[in-house]
Structure 1
Amino acid sequence: MPISTIGKTACTLGMSVDTLRYYEKIGLLPPVARDSQGRRHFAARDLRRLRFIQRAQRCDFSLDEIRVLLESRSCRDAARPEVARLTQQKLRDVQARIAELNLLQQELGNLLQRCEASGQGCPIIDRFDAPTK
């Protein structure tokens, strides 16, 4: 695969140029090759690493967690327990958020029902204005 400029890489991956620079700055991406004018040129290995980062982000891993995952790529068998632990924690976090969202859905549904059943005033605003216990 030919070497790609920062603009073309950003466009190909749907990332901003600033994000690519930031990843390099914080060490998530190793220093990228540069030409004599200092312009970055991304190789196929850089694009593979950036796609890995994107996929991990879509699974809600933080940049620090992604750093651990990236480091684990070189010794997959030895890293398996740590990667499994990180993934299990991420799954628990997602399950907790889903439970919170389910409660929120119920609360909003109840508020909307009260609003639709009310002949006057605004039960939603009244609920938000109510003193806490």
Structure 2
Amino acid sequence: MIAYIGIGGNLGDALATVERAVQALRTSLPASQCLRVSSLYRSAPIDAGGPDYVNAVAELCTTLSPEGLLQALQALEQAEGRERPYRNAPRTLDLDVLLYGAQRLDSPALTVPHPRMNERAFVLLPLAELWPQGVSAAALAAVADQRIERL
């Protein structure tokens, strides 16, 4: 199954953390192969709190179930000291399952496609690098006012 993973962080050395996460996706994720990774981007926090984020998107081929993939990603987050004090809190590392093939899933633990991905330039721009036919010009235009820059 082809899955797209959103990668981001804004606490500590976010650039180094995201680079370590990319390396972990390439070498340590069970039953998965990292096919490609987008450019890195710097973006403003959605709620304007905390420092800027470093973001990317990875394309994986995996035999993990969506829930198994989420668990493996959360283990990588924990290894980087991820805490969840409140919704959208600044974080060392955030790994989100954006898409899992064409599957749709809505459970208490996981919603796929990611429910807010079309509202976020930091998801759509790197995703469009990897899967241009999957991101419409209208979707990109809708987030054009969000501050984001390619690193």
Normalized against structure 2, the TM-score is what? 0.22
Give 1 or 2 for the bigger CA radius of gyration.
1
**Which of structures 1 and 2 has the larger relative contact order (alpha carbons within 8 angstroms, sep 6+)?**
2
Give 1 or 2: higher helix fraction: 1
Normalized against structure 1, the TM-score is what? 0.24
